[in-house]
Amino acid sequence: MKNFVLFTHTRWDEAPRIRHQVARLIAEAGHRVVFVERASGPFERGGVTVREAGPSVTVVRGRRLMHHQLRVLAPFDWANVWVVRRDLRNGLARAGVAGDFEIINFAHDAAWLRPAFPGHRITTVIHDDFEAQARLPWFRHVTRNLRATCKASDRVLAVSTPLANRLAEWCRPELLLPWSSHPYVAPHADIGRRDTLLFWGYIDIGLDTARIRGMAQFVGAHYPGLRLVFIGPTQVPARRAATVSRFEGLPNVEVHDAMRLEELPVDRALAALIPYRRKGDVDATELPNKALPLLSRGLPIMKCGLPHMLRAPFILSVDDDDSLEFAIGECRRNFLGWQPSIERFLSEHDPATRMRILGIPPAP
């Protein structure tokens, strides 16, 4: 059994993303995971906390001096590192982690891990276009930290080819796409019962609400039996309310709270809908996390935006009404015929393949 320390800017209790999936993959392989979650602000109560989140998973939280978006000058980084490093060492000691362990880093601003833990192997996973996410008028501080973090790592993995191409200026990144944690389940064969385009994910400002309205209006005019169903949580309730308000007056659009995969109405779904608006960080996505569980239920994908998403016959763009009409026809004609290809696609993106890329030994 090995110890793996995952350093993240994400809370353990958030909706699962690739850092949560890596943590569970390691734990299921028989190793121990310490998940360092997003730090508390300097004035939040609690200090360093350590808790057990499940078999072989310990969650550690410390504090930070300021949010990474605000650390525009190097001295701000140095002061922040002093706080974060101290709390991290304290947290690892309280979690009983000592001696040999590997670090898997999911933060773009963690070059300080190298001098803080000399001799420990560091793998950095770049899972977002952090430069495109910069909220201030400049992003030199993000680029500075990203470059330093890549150079301080033993290995760098990127979750899409566009991200890997960007990082190639500083290192030799390898590709780490998401994988399917759910086995393929063959869908029923009655296409006549499939009257839903199903979205499953965050109902938030990332959705292209203008395009969704256009799709709903086109579907209402040409496919009166078809509906658009949106199921999922939100990170900020006000954002959900603002997004849902854009669907008013559309009788063929339904919005529901979050559900587990097993609860989704997949037996009524003709396709899974991924309608993201165009923006820099989303455009870099090659394989969205949510695509694989939906494919595991045999659903083809209709996507807006995502210009770099993997190509496959069962992944169709619906950026305008003509492509939407074509996609609906293709799904009705080929839903069953695509199933062997979907099952094969999932087998090519399985946990064992990703374990080899991450360098995780099999269960003892």
Please tell me the predicted confidence (pLDDT) of residue 280. Answer: 61
- Residue (of 164, 106, 131) closest to 281 by Cα position: 131
Judge if 325 and 260 occupy the same domain.
yes
> Going by C-beta distance under 8 Å and a sequence separation of 6 or more, which residues neighbour residue 51?
58, 59
Q: Which residue has the higher pLDDT, 132 or 261?
A: 261
* In a domain? residue 185: no
More confident residue, 184 or 285: 184
Number of domains within the chain = 2
Range of the domain at 208: 191-346
Taking residues 193-209, what's their average pLDDT?
A: 93
Half-sphere exposure of 306 (CA within 13 A, CB side): 25
Do 249 and 294 fall within a single domain? yes
Query: What average pLDDT score do residues 131-138 get?
Result: 67
At 79-118, the pLDDT tens digits run 767 778 888 888 999 999 877 899 999 999 899 999 999 9
Average per-residue pLDDT for the chain: 90
Kindly tell me if the per-residue pLDDT of 69 is higher than 70: no
Q: What share of the chain has pLDDT > 70, as a percent?
A: 91
Question: Residue range 318-346: average pLDDT?
Answer: 97
* First-to-last C-alpha distance (Å) of the chain: 7
Longest dimension (CA), the chain: 65
Q: Both 169 and 217 in a single domain?
A: no
Instruction: Judge whether 137 lies within some domain.
Output: yes
For residue 149, the model assigns a pLDDT of: 96
Q: Which residues contact residue 323 at a Cβ distance below 8 angstroms, ignoring those fewer than 6 apart?
A: 316, 317
pLDDT of 231 higher than 80: yes
**363 in any annotated domain:** no
Give the global pTM.
Answer: 0.81
Same domain as 155, residue 10: yes
> Does residue 41 register a pLDDT over 90?
no
Band the pLDDT of 130: cuts 50, 70, 90.
Answer: confident
Whether residue 364 is contained in a domain is answered as no
Mean per-residue pLDDT, 227-237: 90
In angstroms, the CA 187 to CA 295 distance is 10
Same domain, residue pair 27 and 90: yes
SS3 call for 23: helix
Going 267 to 268 to 272 to 276, the CA torsion angle's sign is negative
* Same domain for 121 and 255: no
Residue 27 pLDDT > 90: yes
Both tokens of 91, joined, read 């947290």
Tens digit of each residue's pLDDT (9 = 90 or more) over 17-26: 899 999 999 9
Q: What is the DSSP code string of 282-343?
A: HHT-SS-TTHHHHHTTT--EEEES-TTSPP-TTEEE-SSHHHHHHHHHHHHHHTTTTHHHHH
Stretch 244-273: mean pLDDT: 95
**Do residue 141 and residue 26 come from a single domain?**
yes
Do 127 and 242 share a domain, yes or no? no
Q: Is 99 exposed, middle or buried (0-12, 13-18, 19+ CB in 10 A)?
A: exposed
CA distances from residue 229 to 11, 245, 270, 336 in whole angstroms, order as listed: 28, 15, 11, 22
Q: Are residues 279 and 324 in the same domain?
A: yes
Is the confidence at residue 137, as pLDDT, over 60?
A: no
Residue 149 is assigned to a structural domain of this protein: yes
Query: What pLDDT was estimated at residue 285?
Result: 85
Q: Do residues 165 and 200 share a domain?
A: no
Query: Is the distance from CB of 230 to CB of 239 less than 8 angstroms?
Result: no
Q: Would 17 be classed as within a structural domain? A: yes
Q: What is the CATH number of the domain that holds 269?
A: 3.40.50.2000
Task: Quickly state the pLDDT bin for 249 (edges 50, 70, 90).
Answer: very high
The stretch 191-219 carries a mean pLDDT of 95
- List strand residue ranges (DSSP E) for 151-224, in order: 155-158, 174-175, 196-200
Average pLDDT over residues 244-267: 95
Q: Report yes or no on 14 lying in a domain.
A: yes
Cα–Cα distance for residue pair 142/62, rounded to 1 Å: 22
Q: Given pLDDT bands bounded at 50, 70 and 90, which one contains residue 252? A: very high
Tell me the residue type at 349. Answer: H
Pair 110, 8 in one domain: yes
What is the spatial order of strands in the sheet that 32-36 belongs to?
Answer: 49-54, 57-61, 32-36, 3-7, 102-105, 122-126, 155-158, 174-175
Q: Identify whether residues 220 and 174 lie together within a single domain.
A: no
Query: What is the distance between the alpha carbons of residues 153 and 196, in angstroms, rounded to a whole number?
Result: 45
Q: What is the mean pLDDT of residues 125-129?
A: 90
Look at residue 112 and tell me if it is in a domain: yes
